[in-house]
């Protein structure tokens, strides 16, 4: 149990805290490796480009929010499910860029990721837990 004066118990949640909590769930569900990172980055990419596209298609910011409120449950939720499916297939997008070099890059990434990036990512994801993950 944390003491009442500890910074994490008295400080407000920042957006990065919500991102870390979401990414930790993705990390655990997707196997805690390069596939999980690729899934998360691909999903965020598709979600951001979807929102930016909607914003650019709107005639004003007020129009954007008005449309998002009415269409969120139907269209945007459907796009989110579609983006989840696309994110599952993130290695395919890498290989489609260039089959030979994409395949080589993917193989190298799966080989180098556990050696170089896995421990720092786990340290960031689980820094608030005892033992660091």
Predicted confidence at residue 64, as pLDDT, reads 67
Taking the C-alpha atoms of residue 21 and residue 7, their distance in angstroms, rounded to an integer, is 17
List pLDDT tens digits, range 76-121.
777 888 889 999 999 998 899 999 999 999 999 999 999 999 999 9
Q: Roughly what angle, to the nearest 10 degrees, separates helices 61-71 and 34-57?
A: 120
Predicted confidence at residue 14, as pLDDT, reads 87
Q: Evaluate whether 36 touches 122 at the Cβ level (below 8 Å).
A: no
Mean pLDDT of 60-67: 70
- The whole-chain average pLDDT of the chain stands at 82
Indicate whether 69 pLDDT > 50: yes
Please give the radius of gyration of the chain, using alpha carbons only, rounded to the nearest integer: 19
Taking the C-alpha atoms of residue 47 and residue 87, their distance in angstroms, rounded to an integer, is 10
DSSP secondary structure letters along 24-39: HHHHHHTTSSHHHHHH
Predicted confidence at residue 45, as pLDDT, reads 93
Cβ neighbours of residue 56 closer than 8 Å, sequence gap 6 or more: none
Of residues 109 and 74, more confidence is placed in 109
State pTM to two decimals.
0.70
Cβ neighbours of residue 9 closer than 8 Å, sequence gap 6 or more: 2, 3
């Amino acid at each position: 149990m944390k003491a009442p004066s500890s910074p994490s118990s008295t400080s407000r949640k920042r957006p990065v805290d919500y991102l870390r909590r979401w990414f930790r769930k993705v990390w655990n569900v997707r196997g805690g490796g390069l596939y999980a990172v690729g899934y998360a980055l691909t999903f965020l990419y598709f979600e951001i480009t979807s929102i930016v596209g909607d914003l650019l298609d709107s005639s004003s910011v007020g129009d954007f929010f008005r449309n998002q409120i009415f269409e969120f449950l139907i269209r945007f939720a459907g796009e989110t499910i579609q983006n989840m499916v696309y994110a599952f297939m993130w290695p395919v997008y890498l290989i489609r860029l260039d089959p030979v070099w994409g395949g080589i890059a993917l193989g190298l990434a799966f080989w180098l990721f556990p050696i170089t990036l896995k421990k720092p990512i786990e340290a960031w994801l689980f820094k608030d837990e005892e033992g660091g993950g």
